[in-house]
Amino acid sequence: MVKGLKQYWQVAPYLTLGFLLTCVFVLYPLAKGIYISFFDYKVIQPSLSEFVGFANYRQALTDPTVYTALWNTLLFAAVTVPGQWLLGVIAATLINIQLVRFKVFFRLIYYLPVISSWVVVSYLFKFLFADGHSGIINYLLTDILHIVPEPIAWLQNRWSANVVIWAVSVWKGIGWVMVMYLAALQSIPKSLYEAAQIDGAKGVSSFLNITLPLMRPMTVYVVINLIIGAFQAFIQVLLITRGGPLDSTHLMNTYLFKQAFEYFNFGYGTALSVMLGLLIFIFTYGQQRTFGRERLEY
């Protein structure tokens, strides 16, 4: 008992510092945000803020742009999460093959987008998919390959603009998934593959029956982080389309940013952020429960 208390006393300063930082930078902003969502908040003169109860939340339920942003957010997650996961697993598997040479080079090439600035990458894709013949993609499709007769207005149409946003998000996230799975692949004993080879299992069969089941904990971690990242997507939409055309490509994050920092409707914007936080919690909790049950059954 005394020894246990002494150990706790030794680590108490570190635990206290971590707890204080969590309170200052996590718990307090969270509580303050929920508080603001019940007010018509005046950021310049908070004392003039008017309590409106659930009016901001009722407004969100009747705002058509909220449903557009919510649908775009769900669609963004449905496209980018499987896309990043699948391409990242394929890249990790190919690089991990013994016959592949220059593995460090390929890891660097795939991981380079991950460490690149979102601002730089977003403007790069905005330039690539620019309207008219000035855009490199349009130039290739019309003048080089002659696939389409006229340049495509990529960023002037809701679906083509969303495709650009999905493309940059998937491209930038593949390297992170690849690195995570490379670490998991290298931890699998080679003796398992040798035993499977003796039993006649090769290639795809070994991957499906040995590799994927053993990488299940990594899959849980990667998928949950990808889902959270998808619901928090912001910079690429803000810099490539700014929610246009006609607010048709807004995500929840960009729309609440517009309400709070362009219209200065902080109460409404904060209410949207609270709703988004609840949505992220529901999805990630559901994923954890699902993977948890599968792990127990396995």
**What's the pLDDT tens digit per position in 97-107?**
766 677 778 88
Q: For residue 92, give the nearest of 184, 172, 167, 225 by alpha carbon.
A: 184
Average pLDDT over residues 274-294: 77
The DSSP code sequence of 35-101 is: HHTTEE--SS-GGG-EE-TTHHHHHHHH-HHHHHHHHHHHHHHHHHHHHHHHHHHHHHHHHHSTT--
Q: Could you give the CA distance from residue 176 to residue 185 in angstroms, rounded to a whole number?
A: 14
pLDDT over threshold 50, residue 39 = yes
Q: Which domains does the chain have, with CATH numbers?
A: 54-297 (1.10.3720.10)
Q: Per 3-state DSSP, what percentage of the chain is helix, strand, and coil (rounded to 5)? A: 80, 0, 20
Residue 65 has a CB neighbour count (10 Å cut-off) of 16
pLDDT over 90 (residue 291): no
Number of residues that this document lists for the chain: 298
* More confident of the two residues 296 and 223: 223
Q: What is the pLDDT of residues 12-26, one digit of tens each?
A: 788 888 889 999 998
| Residue 20 token pair | 């204080």
pTM flag (> 0.85): yes
Arithmetic mean of pLDDT over the chain: 86
With a cut of 90, say whether residue 187 has pLDDT above it. Answer: no
Q: Please, what's the b/e burial string for 229-258 (b: 16 or more CB within 10 A of its CB; e: otherwise)? A: bbbebeebbbbbbebeeebbbbbbbbbbbb
User: Is the CB of residue 73 less than 8 Å from the CB of residue 252?
Assistant: yes
Question: Rounded to 5 degrees, what angle do the CA atoms 179, 180, 184 make?
Answer: 115
Q: Give the Cα separation of 173 and 167 in Å (integer).
A: 10
Q: At what angle do helices 55-62 and 266-297 cross, to 10 degrees?
A: 80
C-alpha span between 73 and 257 (Å, rounded) = 14
What pLDDT, in 10s, does the model give residues 119-130? 999 999 999 999
Torsion of CA 194, 197, 199, 203, to 10 degrees: 130
Say yes or no to pLDDT of 294 above 60. no
Give the pLDDT band of residue 233 (cuts 50, 70, 90).
Answer: very high
Average pLDDT over residues 235-242: 93
∠ Cα 251 252 255 (to 5°): 85
